[in-house]
Structure 1
Amino acid sequence: MSTTQPTEAQRVHLRRAVGFVLMSAILPGSVQSFAGNRRIGRLAMRVYGAALVLILITGFGLLVARGFTAGVLLEPWVTMVLRVVLWILFIGWALLLLDSWRLTRPLGLRQKGRLGLSITALLLIAGIGGVTGLAASALTGVSNVGEVFQGGGDTERKAGRYNILLLGADAAASREGLRPDSINVASIDAETGRTVLFGLPRNMQRVRFPESSPLRNLYPDGYVCDEGACMLNGLWTLGEEHADLYPEDSEPGLEAMKEGVSETLGIELNYYAMVDMGGFKSLIDAMGGIRLDISKPIPIGGGSTKISGYIEPGEGVLLDGYHALWFARSRAESNDYERMVRQKCVMSAMAKQLDPMTAATKFVDLSQASKDILSTDVPRAEVATLAELALKVKDQKIASVNFTPPMVKSADPDFDLIRTTVRANLDEAEGLDEAAPSPAPTSAAPSSAAPEPEAPATSAAAKPSETKPSGEATPAAQKQATPKPEQTKGAEDDAPYTQTEDLEAVCSVSA
C-alpha cells in the first residue's frame, strides 16, 4: 500500500469536496448554482428560500397572532399538505446533496478521503431525513389534535372565566343511550388560571331547564318522572329523544345536558369536553401512567363482575391506564359520591403530571389517544389560548366542591343552595387572586384544607377542598356568605353515603 503523502492539489480537492457537501446540506441548490446545472440550482434556492420564509412567517404569526395561526395549522387538510410538501422537500434536498457529492469528482480523491466524503454525505442525508421524520410526526400529532377541536362552543368569557363542562361517558353496547357517569364543571379564571371544580352526582333528580330551553314546556317543574328514574345523566338521552325540539342543533343530547347543568349551577357554559371512559386507559398509558396517594383499597371489578383484586393504598402509587380506569369507575364497596372524588383525583393528576418532556416525546401517541376518546366544541383558534391557561392551572391547586349528601339531597336538591354555593366559591377564588401575599389575620377563618372544630358536617361541602397553598386563608366575609344547608335532615334517605368532600379522605395527587 502506498504511504505517500497527499499532494497540495489533492488536499485542495478534498477541502473543496467537503465544502460542496456541507454547502449543499446547509443551503440546497447553492452548489448547483455555480458548479452544476445553474438553472436547477437557482430554482432549488428559490424553493427552499420560500420554505424558510414560510417557516419564519409561521413563527412570527405564533407570536403576534397565536390564535389565528394555531387555528390554521390545526386544520387537518393544512397539516396533510404540509406533510406531503415536507417529504418532497426532503427528497429534493437529498438528491441535490448527492448531486453535489457527484460534482466533487470523488473518484479523483484518495481512497481514505473518498470514503470519508461518502460517509459524511450519507450521514447528512440521514440526519436531514430524521429531522424531516420528526417534523412529519409532529404534523401528524397536530392533525390528530385538529380533528378533536371541531368548534361550536362559546368563546366569550363569562364574568372573566371559562366554564367547561367535563363529561365521562360510557356508551357501551349494553347501555341504553349515552349516559355520562361523571359530570363536572371546571370554572377557570381567564387571567390567573385559578380553578374551581364543581361535581354533580349522576343520580341528581328534578333538574330544571332554563326558560330558553324547549324542554322547559315539557318539564316545567324539572325533569321528574315516576320511581325517580329521571336523573341528571339521562338528559343526553332525553335530548336525543326530543331532537325535533332542537331543529338547528346537530347534537340535541349535548344541548339538553348543557342546559340542565347550566341552570343547576347558575353559570353559563363555554365549552364541553367528553371522554369515553372505555378508551380512557389509552390516554393514561400514553402519559406513562399517573401517581396518586391512595388512602383505602379500591376493588377491581364488582357489580356484574367478580372482584378480581384491589388497588392497594399507598403514597405515590403508579397507576397505568387499566388500573386508573378502575380507580375512577369502581363502585364496589363504596358509593357514587366517593367515586366522584376519585374521578376528580384522576383528572387533577392528569392535569398536573403531564410534564412538557412527556408531551414532547409522546405527542403523537397522546394526540392519537385524545382523537380516539375525546370530543369537544372548543374551536381550533382557541386551542393556543386554552393551552396557555392550562399551564397556569398546572401551577395551582384545584378547588373542589361536590354537591352530594349530606349537603344536597340527590332526590330533592335545593337548587338555590347549589347556586349560592357556586357563587360563594367563585367569589372566594377571585378573592384569593386579589388578596395580598401577607399572612392572613388571626381573625380570618381557617383554610378549608383543615376541618373546622364543632362545625356541622354539611358545611364542608360548601367550601373548596384542598385548594389553597399554605399561608392562604379564606376571607371571613366570604365564609359567612356560604350558606349552611338546613334542609339536609332528610339526606339520610340517600344513606349509606357519607360526605367525601375532603379529597384526601380517599386520594390525593402525588407531588
Structure 2
Amino acid sequence: MHNRLQKIKVERKKKRRKRIALFIVLPIIVLGFATAAFGTHLYSQFKKSVAGSYEEIEGREKSPIRNDAVKIEKDHFSMLVIGVDDSEKRGFGDTSRSDALLLVTVNQNDHTAKLLSIPRDSYVYIPEVGYNTRINHAHAFGGPKATIETVEELLDIPVDYYVRVNFHAFLEVIDALGGIEVDVPFTITEQDSQDRAGAITLQPGLQTLNGEEALAFARTRHIDNDIERGKRQQQVIKAVIQKAASLKSLSKLDDLFEAVGSNMKTNLTFNEIKYLAEFGIKNRISIDSLTLEGSDSYMNGGAYYYQLDQKALEELKTEMQNHLEVNDSRQEIE
C-alpha cells in the first residue's frame, strides 16, 4: 500500500501542470507606487492603470458576514489575492483554476497584517456547487465570487476585497523592478514560463532574481511540499514590496503600471488604493505569515488532496477573527 501511494505521488508530480507562484500586485501599489504617483504624469498613468483593472462582483456590495459595508479609511479589512494562469498558451480563460491563494487581513489600529497562504489542493466545501473538493476548483466553477465565498465558508471571516492576477504580472512586475533580492536556500532546477524543462537553475545564496528566476523559485516544490512553496511565495512577496518601496524603482513606474493594468482585476477603487498607498507609506506595517496545517491524503481513486487539520483550523479562525475584530458578527447575522 505504501509503495502504491508513493507511486501515485510521483506520478502526480510528473503529470501536474507547473505551479504558478503567487504574484501579489497590490502591495506593490500600496507600498511603492504612491510615493511617486503625485507627479502629474505618473499620477495619470497610475489612475488609468487602476481604472482598467476595476471589476465589481455583482451582488457583493459587502460580505454577507458583515453587518455594514467596510469603509477602508477607518475599518479593519481583508483582501483575497487569487493567482491564476490565463495565458493564451493554456487557453483556460474564465474556467481557469486558481493556482495560488493568499488572504491578507489588516488591523488599522496596531498597523499589523496577517498573510495566510492557502494550499491549492486543500479539500474544502465549495458553496457554488454544494460539495467538497480542492479549493482551486472554486475559480473554475464561478470565478472570484465563488472563490471568495469558499474562503469565507472555510475561515468564517469576511473577504472585503479581492485582487485577481495572472502569471504574466509576476514576470513583468519583477522585471520592471529590475529584479528582486532573494536568499535561495538550496539548488533549484525548474521549468521556465514556456514549459522548457530544466531551463532555470538557481544556486544557493543571496542574489538578485529576474522574473523567470523568481517564478522558478516560488513555484518549485519537488524538494518539499505546498506549505514550503507557500512560504517561498510569501518570501517573494516581501522582496517585491521592499524593492517597490525603494526610490531606485521610481524610474520604472511606467512599466510597472502597464504590467499591473493588463494583468489584474480588483474591486478596489482608485481612491481606496490611493488611501492604502498613503496608509502604507505613513505606517510601518508588521506582517505575520501564517499557513494552514494539514497532511497529504488520497481519495479512493488515488487523486491527491491536502487534508486540513481541523483543530489547527479552528485556532487559525479565531486568530484571524480576533485580528479583524469580527468574532461575533457571523453569529449575530445568523
TM-score after normalising by structure 2:
0.70
Relative contact order higher in (CA < 8 Å, ≥ 6 apart): 2
Say which of 148, 166, 169 aligns to 2:84. 169
Q: Distance in 2 between matches of 1:356 and 1:309?
A: 27
Q: Distance in 1 between matches of 2:324 and 2:160?
A: 19
Instruction: Give the C-alpha shift of residue 305 in structure 1.
Output: 4.4
Equivalent residues of 1:162, 1:187 under 8 A apart: yes
Q: Deviation per CA, 1:103-141: give whole Å up to 9, x if none.
A: xxxxxxxxxxxxxxxxxxxxxxxxxxxxxxx84455234
Equivalent residues of 1:141, 1:367 under 8 A apart: yes
2:146 corresponds to 1:256: yes
Residue 421 of structure 1: aligned partner: 316
Q: Distance in 2 between matches of 1:138 and 1:268?
A: 31
Residue 332 of structure 1: aligned partner: 222
Instruction: Give the C-alpha shift of residue 335 in structure 1.
Output: 2.5
Residue 236 of structure 1: aligned partner: 139
1:85-484 paired onto structure 2 within 5 Å: 135-136=40-41, 138-151=43-56, 154=62, 156=70, 160-172=75-87, 173-174=89-90, 176=92, 177-209=95-127, 215=128, 218-219=129-130, 223-224=131-132, 230-239=133-142, 253-301=143-191, 305-315=196-206, 317-358=207-248, 360-391=250-281, 395-406=284-295, 411-415=306-310, 417-424=312-319, 427=322
Bigger strand share: 2
Seq. identity, %? 24
Q: Distance in 1 between matches of 2:152 and 2:181?
A: 32
Q: Distance in 2 between matches of 1:139 and 1:311?
A: 39
Aligned residue-pair number: 268
- SS where residue 259 of structure 1 aligns? helix
- SS where residue 207 of structure 1 aligns? strand
Q: Deviation per CA, 1:440-489: give whole Å up to 9, x if none.
A: xxxxxxxxxxxxxxxxxxxxxxxxxxxxxxxxxxxxxxxxxxxxxxxxxx
Going from structure 1 to structure 2, the CA distance change for 1:142 and 1:381 (only over 3 Å counts) comes to: closer
Q: Which residue identity is paired with 1:324?
A: A
Instruction: Compute the RMSD of aligned alpha carbons.
Output: 3.2
Instruction: Pick the structure with greater CA Rg.
Output: 1
Instruction: Give the C-alpha shift of residue 185 in structure 1.
Output: 0.2
Bigger helix share: 1
Residue 461 of structure 1: aligned partner: none
- SS where residue 171 of structure 1 aligns? coil
Going from structure 1 to structure 2, the CA distance change for 1:356 and 1:174 (only over 3 Å counts) comes to: closer
Compare 373-382 and 395-404 and name the one that shifted more: 395-404
- SS where residue 181 of structure 1 aligns? strand
